Amino acid sequence: MKGKFISFEGIDGCGKTTQIKFLEEYLLKQGYNILVLREPGGTKVGEKVRDILLDKNNFISPVTEMLLYASSRAQLVEEKILPAIEEGKIVLLDRFVDSSYVYQGYARGLGIEKVKVVNEIATMGILPDVTIYIDITPEEAMKRRGKREADRLERESWDFHKKVREGYIKLVKEFPKRFVFIDGMQELMKVHKDIIDVVKKYL
């Protein structure tokens, strides 16, 4: 039996990582075989790319940023995601191609089509069975981040983070069969319950 591929999206600080951990614990208790991955990263090559992308001291042009994300993604798909799905595992991925659509395509202004062409090659055309978008406001994201040191992307302007959120909401509306909108402003365990209710439908 083939596995499942579930991705999580949202602006920085929306709670993706926490909710993935909760979901992993829940699914393990149900007896499922789980692989949790993150983008950029998830492989030896990808983690090196991650260090470059998130280093606050680096200036990275929008095109370079798009290509670096795509290179990390290509390695992740071939080395980890496809083999895990073939082995019947459930892959939980913290960000995937939709992050590039909204961060580089929309917020950076490169255009969705350009990002799509590059990522068709990087992903070999695979898409998640379901993408869970956790929605919060940039104001809430900043509050949650608190005094933790921000990485290069988290340090972007207020307007940039607003554009990222707008981009996600457009994607949710454009691809309603794949995306599920989750209200991330709710209490933590209510968000977790909503996610479980969604995931059950795909298992």
- Residue 147, pLDDT score: 59
pLDDT bucket at 3, cuts 50 / 70 / 90: very high
Residue 109 annotated as binding?
A: no
Residue 12 annotated as binding?
A: yes
Of the chain, the percentage scoring pLDDT greater than 70 comes to 95
Q: Output phi, psi for 8, to 5 deg.
A: -120, 135
Residue 13 annotated as binding?
A: yes
In this prediction the pTM is 0.94
Q: Which residue ranges form the domains of the chain, and what is each CATH number?
A: 4-200 (3.40.50.300)
Residue 17 annotated as binding?
A: yes
pLDDT bucket at 157, cuts 50 / 70 / 90: confident
3-state SS assignment for residue 45: helix
Which residues touch 37 (CB under 8 Å, ≥6 apart)?
A: 76, 80, 81, 91, 92, 93, 94
Kindly report, residue by residue over 89-121, the tens digit of the pLDDT: 999 999 999 999 999 999 999 999 999 999 999
Residue 41 annotated as binding?
A: no
The string of DSSP letters for 100-138 reads HIIIIIIIS-S-HHHHHHHHHHHHTT---SEEEEEE--H
Residue 42 annotated as binding?
A: no
